[in-house]
């Protein structure tokens, strides 16, 4: 599916300003939509919206369907009289530039409990009942999973008491009765998340902004999906993954990337014509307008690592039924608004799969110069059916990247100068805007710039460093006074100049 010539900004909602320690789906999110409109943008790209698990990564979620309830807006709950202003009187003095996930959870979960009790006291809510019924195909098992996870101290599901871990009918009945109120609480949180998110999406769409969502190819091992649908995943009788995901060693990593997600049992998924994937696509397309598929190459061939390994070195390439899957999804949904993340080791077969369904691939300007770069990645060689980025959530910011290569890779700097006809020494901010303008001016129909690059921030604003856990990963937030009128005008002029605002 070919897209219009448009541009936008990559910003995960957790990075929005908020007095409550993490970005929310309230006033500041709506103000960010307004900023996009006033700066001539058409697209808002986000990361996966699922409930984050280990390491706070949105690519390791407790469900492939549920939402991240930390994003629920406290001010909206006050507006619904589910919270009272005095309930937030003891709001901690949160860091304005980083999400302190532990402190945020402690604070917000206490408020959510109060909101839930008032919601229950209010009685019948037809919209809630409708939401529960429409989403029961995932909501009930997820809510049960989260209630169980709480009483078992947060440990992985295969370490719970054996009877409930492996879904003994008697244990299922017992725990459903015992945890009925907790299950309802989890459903309430999901209702609030989806209600608030869909209201925000409707506002964005009304103002001419489309949302680009993100679909991780794999599910987390510690998830309601793996617990409730074990037959779809490569798990042994004890619930341990027998084959896990990652990418092999390459120029950038001697041991590759070990992700640990269980692989799919594709033969099982074929039996019902990929019903699980149809459900997943249906839900995500109700939440976003365009989908970026993470690690697209895994739908053609995936790197299979034996369970029990600690690195990605001892793996093998295995063919995946991507063509059959996308044929099935296309027959079900028609042409799909998908961007294929086709970075890394890409074969002719992966290119053919992408091109058969006319999915635009991704171009990263930071990968264009220096070690590992290729002529085909140079901007003047981009095809129209592509999405160009200065960098992604896994890259350093462009300023941080440029300062590093200035110290470590002088040939890459010389390449940049030759390509852009630069004769003098320039700083990181100047180079940042050179690459932003190059993305806007390229032939690629879609141009996306991380907000960190729009703001010309350094490595302190990096969103994630792959193959690392903890630290500042996924925690960056921006301060609202940075979105100035001068910045709006600068972006709007680029959008007009390069025909991306129509």
Helix (H) or strand (E) holding 317: strand 316-319
Q: Starting at the edge strand that comes first in sequence, how are the strands of the sheet with 361-364 ordered?
A: 338-340, 290-293, 210-215, 43-45, 6-10, 446-450, 386-389, 361-364
Report the C-alpha gap between 483 and 477 in whole angstroms: 13
Report the C-alpha gap between 31 and 41 in whole angstroms: 14
Report the C-alpha gap between 230 and 224 in whole angstroms: 10
Cβ pair 323, 275 in contact under 8 A: no
Kindly provide the residue ranges of all beta strands, DSSP E only, lying in 11-106, ordered along the sequence. Answer: 43-45
Cβ pair 499, 77 in contact under 8 A: no
Report the C-alpha gap between 393 and 133 in whole angstroms: 35
Q: Catalytic amino acids?
A: 294, 341, 394
Q: What is each CA distance from 454 to 35, 435, 487, in whole angstroms?
A: 12, 11, 8
Tokens 């053609």 belong to: 300
Report the C-alpha gap between 496 and 486 in whole angstroms: 16
Written as one string, the DSSP assignment of 400-450 is: HHHHHHHHH-HHHHHHHHHHTT--S---HHHHHHHHHHHHHHSS-SEEEEE
Residue among 369, 358, 374, 386 nearest 442 (CA): 386
Residue 146 three-state SS: helix
Burial of 368 (0-12, 13-18, 19+ CB in 10 A): buried
Phi, psi (deg, nearest 5) at residue 109: -65, -30
């Amino acid at each position: 599916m070919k897209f219009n010539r448009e541009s936008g900004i990559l910003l995960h909602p957790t990075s929005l300003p908020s007095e409550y320690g993490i970005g929310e789906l309230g006033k500041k999110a709506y103000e960010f939509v307004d900023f996009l409109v006033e700066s001539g943008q058409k697209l808002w790209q986000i990361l996966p919206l699922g409930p984050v698990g280990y390491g706070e990564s949105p690519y390791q979620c407790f469900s492939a369907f549920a939402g991240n309830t930390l994003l629920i807006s406290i001010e909206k709950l006050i507006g619904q009289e589910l919270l009272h202003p005095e309930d937030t009187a003891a709001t901690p003095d949160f860091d304005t530039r980083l999400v302190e996930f532990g402190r945020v959870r402690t604070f917000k979960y206490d408020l959510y409990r109060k909101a839930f009790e008032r919601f229950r006291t209010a009685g019948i809510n037809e919209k809630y009942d409708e939401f529960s019924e429409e989403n029961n195909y995932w909501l009930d098992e997820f809510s049960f999973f989260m209630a169980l996870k709480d009483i078992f101290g947060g440990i992985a599901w295969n370490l719970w008491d054996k009877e409930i871990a492996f879904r003994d009918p008697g244990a299922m009945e017992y725990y459903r009765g015992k945890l009925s109120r907790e299950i309802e609480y989890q459903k309430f949180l999901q209702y609030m998340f989806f209600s608030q998110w869909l209201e925000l999406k409707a506002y964005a769409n009304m103002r001419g902004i489309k949302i680009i969502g993100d679909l991780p190819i794999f599910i987390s091992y510690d998830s309601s999906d793996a617990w409730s649908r074990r037959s779809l995943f490569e798990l042994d009788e004890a619930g341990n993954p027998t084959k896990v995901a990652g990418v092999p060693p390459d120029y950038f990593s001697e041991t590759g990337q070990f992700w640990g997600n269980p692989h799919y049992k594709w033969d099982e998924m074929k039996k019902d014509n990929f019903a699980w994937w149809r459900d997943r696509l249906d839900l995500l397309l109700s939440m976003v307008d365009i989908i970026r598929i993470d690690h697209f190459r895994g739908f053609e061939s995936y790197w299979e690592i034996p369970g029990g390994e600690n690195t990605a070195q001892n793996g093998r390439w295995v063919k995946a039924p991507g063509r059959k899957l996308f044929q099935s999804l296309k027959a079900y949904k028609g042409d799909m608004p998908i961007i294929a993340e086709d970075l890394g080791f890409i074969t002719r077969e992966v290119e053919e799969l992408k091109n058969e369904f006319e999915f635009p691939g991704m171009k990263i300007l930071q990968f264009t110069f220096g070690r590992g770069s290729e002529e085909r990645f140079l901007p003047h060689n981009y095809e129209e059916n592509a999405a160009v980025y200065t960098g992604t959530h896994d890259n350093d910011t462009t300023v941080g990247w440029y300062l590093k290569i200035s110290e470590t890779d002088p040939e890459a700097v010389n390449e940049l100068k030759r390509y852009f006809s630069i004769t003098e020494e320039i700083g990181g901010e100047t180079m940042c805007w050179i690459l932003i303008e190059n993305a806007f001016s390229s032939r690629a129909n879609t141009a996306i710039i991380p907000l960190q690059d729009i703001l010309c921030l350094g490595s302190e604003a990096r969103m994630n460093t792959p193959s690392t856990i903890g630290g500042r990963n996924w925690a960056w937030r921006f301060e609202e006074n940075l979105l100035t009128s001068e910045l709006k005008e600068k972006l709007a002029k680029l959008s007009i100049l390069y025909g991306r605002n129509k």
